[in-house]
Amino acid sequence: MIPYLEKRAEHSQTMVYISPFIALGLTLLGGIMLFSLLGKSPAQALYAFFVSPLTSLYGWAELGVKASPLVLIGVALSIGFRAGVWNIGAEGQLTLGAICGGCVALWMYPVDSIFVLPLMMIGGILGGMFWASIPAFLKTRFNANEILTSLMLTYVALLLLSLLVHGPLRDPDGFNFPESRIFHDAASLPIILDGTRLHLGAVFALVAVGGIWLLLSKSLIGFQVKVIGQAPAAGRHAGFSVNRMIWFTLLLGGGMAGLAGMFEVSGPIGQLLPTISPGYGFTAIIVAFVGRLHPVGSLFAGLLIALSYLGGENAQITLNLPIAVTGVFQGMLLFFLLACDVLIRYRIRFKPVSRLRHG
């Protein structure tokens, strides 16, 4: 018997919800194999990865710290992906947001005012939007592929950050280390849970989920995103402007990524460093897909992926597992998810060997 795919007459709504769980199950199986290959007890490793980080309140707070940027960016990216705009340079937009937000903080040092944080947030958002506006401009004006331009700009942004912390933004009393001054209190994000690092960014991430859900379900532009994503021809006939969609989705993604970057430097990090993100901007792509390009889905996916970051750190300390396992896990999850999505549109059938025709 040979398995083959038969197209379903309609997309299976059940599978839309079930397939992420099948993918998660397969990823766990893959993880068990991976850990065995690395010579660790799978049970111990899975416990270290997915259970023990959540056995304390501090662990849950850390989950929120890691999930905040992922959810903020993932939710915004999913809008673009729905409309077929592939902004994969969120990491660069995050970096620019961190730079601009950080510059505001350093510029206002040591002014103690309640306006410092809002200004930093505006700086972060504008920085990210500016960085995303470059691929938007190049796409709408010159038809340059946004996948490649936004990605190239990520490398440029990381180099720019390195340049700034090695030069103009270096801490004057910092013994020449490539770090900025540590932000003063008025420029640091308030902690919302005492004794942890959970900061105001988590609240913003939840607001973003709600806001984008409203945008998608209630607004005209949300409707246009859905139409263009599902039936581009219908969108064109209805007169929806593709260029407007490109600008809107890129600026939205850039702004949110910039905000996430500003939150990172103003919250958990507290200063500008040469490296400020463990690849949140890239991982947010996985968050968007695992979350089914849906705002609420992205929230759960963001928490799941955040757990894999926490678990990776924990497994590194307790089991001496390399931190790179996290990336392998995340990649596997996305692979299995994409593979399982076949079940939404197709049925798996079996036929005898003799009737097999080569496609």
Site residues, other proteins (CB under 8 A): 5-7, 86, 88, 138, 141-145, 147-149, 151-153, 155-156, 159-160, 162-163, 166-167, 282-283, 285-286, 289, 322, 324-332, 334-335, 338-339, 341-342, 345-346, 357-359
Closest contact distance (angstroms) between CB of 130 and other proteins is 15
**Enclosing H/E stretch for 103:** helix 90-107
Q: How is residue 327 annotated by DSSP?
A: H
CB nearer other proteins, residue 111 or residue 339: 339
Q: What are the CA-CA distances from residue 304 to residues 66, 164, 299, 343 (Å)? A: 10, 34, 9, 22
Closest contact distance (angstroms) between CB of 127 and other proteins is 17
Q: Which two tokens stand for residue 59?
A: 């662990």
Q: What's the gap between Cα 151 and its chain centre?
A: 14
CB nearer other proteins, residue 238 or residue 339: 339
Q: Which position has the token pair 């080569």?
A: 358
Q: Does the CA dihedral 163-145-91-132 come out positive or negative?
A: positive
Distance CA 185, CA 188 (A): 5
CB nearer other proteins, residue 270 or residue 313: 313
DSSP character string of 209-271: HHHHHHHHHHSHHHHHHHHHHH-HHHHHHTT--HHHHHHHHHHHHHHHHHHHHHHHIIIII-S
Closest contact distance (angstroms) between CB of 102 and other proteins is 17
- Contact between residue 65 and residue 268 where contact means Cβ atoms under 8 Å apart: yes
Closest contact distance (angstroms) between CB of 147 and other proteins is 7
Closest contact distance (angstroms) between CB of 221 and other proteins is 23
User: Helices 280-290 and 295-319: crossing angle, nearest 10°?
Assistant: 130
CB nearer other proteins, residue 156 or residue 192: 156
Closest contact distance (angstroms) between CB of 124 and other proteins is 21
CB nearer other proteins, residue 88 or residue 187: 88
Q: What are phi and psi of 110, to 5 degrees?
A: -105, 45
- Contact between residue 97 and residue 58 where contact means Cβ atoms under 8 Å apart: no
Closest contact distance (angstroms) between CB of 190 and other proteins is 33
CB nearer other proteins, residue 119 or residue 147: 147
